[in-house]
Structure 1
Amino acid sequence: MQMPSPQPVSAPVNTAGADPFVRIEAVTKRFGSFTAVDDVSLSIYKGEIFGLLGGSGCGKTTLLRMLAGFEDPTSGRIWLDGQDMTGVPPYERPVNMMFQSYALFPHMTVEKNVAYGLKHERMTDAQRKDRVREMLDLVQLTQFAHRKPHQISGGQRQRVALARALARAPKLLLLDEPLAALDKKLREHTQFELMNIQSQTGVTFVVVTHDQEEAMTLSDRIAVMDKGQVRQIGTPNDVYEYPNSRFVAGFIGSITTFEATVRKIEGQNAILDVPAMGGVKIGRSVPGLTEGEKVTLALRPEKIRLGRERPDDPNSFSGVVSGLGYLGKDSLYRIALPDGQIVTVNSVNARRVGEDERVADWEDQVWLSFDPTSAILLRN
Structure 2
Amino acid sequence: MTSTAPGQAATAAPARTSPPFVTVEQVTKRFGDFTAVDDVSFEIQKGEIFSLLGGSGCGKTTLLRVLAGFEEPTKGRVLIDGQDMAGVPAYDRPVNMMFQSYALFPHMTVEKNVGYGLKHESMTAAQRRDRVREMLDLVQLTEFAHRKPHQISGGQRQRVALARALARAPKLLLLDEPLAALDKKLREHTQFELMAIQERTGVTFVVVTHDQEEAMTLSSRLAVMDKGRIMQIGSSTDVYEFPKNRFVAGFIGSINQFDARIVSIGGDVARVLVPDLGGEVDAAAIPGLVPGQEVNLAVRPEKIAISRRRPDTDDSAQGRVESLAYFGKDSLYRVRLHSGAIVLVNSVNDRRAGEHARVADWEDEVWLSFEPASAILLTE
Interval containing the TM-score (normalised by the shorter chain): over 0.9
Q: 347-356 or 192-201: which moved more?
A: 347-356
Q: Which residue type is aligned with residue 50 of structure 2?
A: F
Determine the structure 2 residue equivalent to 1:75.
Answer: 75
CA distance in structure 2 between the aligned counterparts of 1:51 and 1:180, rounded to whole angstroms: 14
Partner of 1:3: none
| 1:371 has 2:356 as partner | no
Supply the distance in 1 between the matched residues of 2:12 and 2:280 (Cα, whole angstroms): 40
SS class of match (1:117) = helix
Q: Deviations over 1:309-343 (max 9, x none)?
A: 00011321111101110001100101111222111
> Aligned to 1:328, what secondary structure does the other structure show?
coil
- Which residue does 1:271 correspond to in 2? 271
Equivalent in the alignment of 2:6: none
Following superposition, the deviation at residue 247 of structure 1 comes to: 0.2
Structure 2 contact 95–173 (Cα < 8 Å) conserved: yes
Aligned partner of 2:272: which letter? L
Measured after TM superposition, the shift of residue 242 of structure 1 is 0.3
TM-score normalised over the length of structure 1: 0.97
Q: C-alpha separation between the residues in 2 aligned to 1:237 and 1:357?
A: 29
| Rounded Cα–Cα distance in structure 1 between residues aligned with 2:115 and 2:11 | 31
Aligned to 2:93: 93
User: 2: CA distance between counterparts of 1:290 and 1:274?
Assistant: 16
* Contact kept? 2:10, 2:217, Cα under 8 Å: no
Question: Which piece of structure 1 moves more, 130-139 or 333-342?
Answer: 333-342
Number of equivalenced pairs: 372
Identical amino acids, percent of aligned pairs = 72
Deviation at 1:356, TM superposition (A): 4.1
Asked if residue 244 in structure 1 is aligned to residue 244 in structure 2, the reply is yes
Quick check: 2:79–2:85 contact (8 Å CA) kept in 1? yes
After superposition, residues 174-323 of structure 1 pair within 5 angstroms as 174-323=174-323
SS at match of 1:70: coil
Is 1:44 aligned with 2:44? yes
TM-score between the two structures when normalised by the length of structure 2: 0.97
Note the 1:46-65 alignment, pairs <5 A.
46-65=46-65
Offset of residue 15 of structure 1: 2.9
2:361 maps to which residue?
361
Task: Measure the CA separation in 1 of the matches of 2:314 and 2:104.
Answer: 60
Could you list the runs of 5+ residues in structure 1 that have no partner in the other structure?
1-8
Please tell me whether residue 23 in structure 1 is matched to residue 23 in structure 2. yes
How many Å apart are 1:181 and its aligned residue? 0.1
Residue 355 of structure 1 and its aligned partner are, at CA, apart by 1.4
Q: Using the TM superposition, give the Cα deviation of residue 10 of structure 1 relative to its aligned residue in structure 2, in angstroms.
A: 7.1
Cα distance, 1:194 vs structure 2: 0.2
Does the Cα contact within 8 Å between 1:27 and 1:77 map onto a contact in 2?
Answer: yes
Kindly tell me: are residues 357 and 88 of structure 1, through their superposed partners in 2, closer, same or farther at Cα, counting changes over 3 Å? Answer: closer
CA contact (8 A) 1:262 1:293 kept: yes
The answer to whether the 8 A contact 1:10-1:196 is kept is no
Give yes or no for contact 1:10–1:199 (8 Å, CA) kept in 2.
Answer: no
CA–CA separation in structure 1 for the residues paired with 2:17 and 2:300: 33
Distance in 2 separating the partners of 1:250 and 1:13: 25
Q: Please list every run of 5 or more consecutive structure 2 residues that lacks an aligned counterpart in the other structure.
A: 1-8
Q: Evaluate the alpha carbon distance shift between residue 10 and residue 56 of structure 1 in structure 2; reply closer, same or farther with a 3 A threshold.
A: closer
Q: Assess if the C-alpha contact under 8 Å between 1:242 and 1:376 holds in 2.
A: yes
SS in 2 for 1:131: helix
SS at match of 2:132: helix
**Secondary structure in structure 1 of the residue aligned to 2:105:** coil
CA positional deviation for 1:14: 2.4
For 2:357 and 2:130, locate their aligned partners in 1 and report how far apart those are by CA, in whole Å.
Answer: 61
In structure 2, C-alpha distance between the alignment counterparts of 1:229 and 1:13, rounded to whole Å? 22
Q: More displaced, 261-270 or 311-320?
A: 311-320
Q: Secondary structure at the match of 1:30?
A: strand
Instruction: Give the Cα separation in 1 of the matches to 2:164 and 2:170.
Output: 11
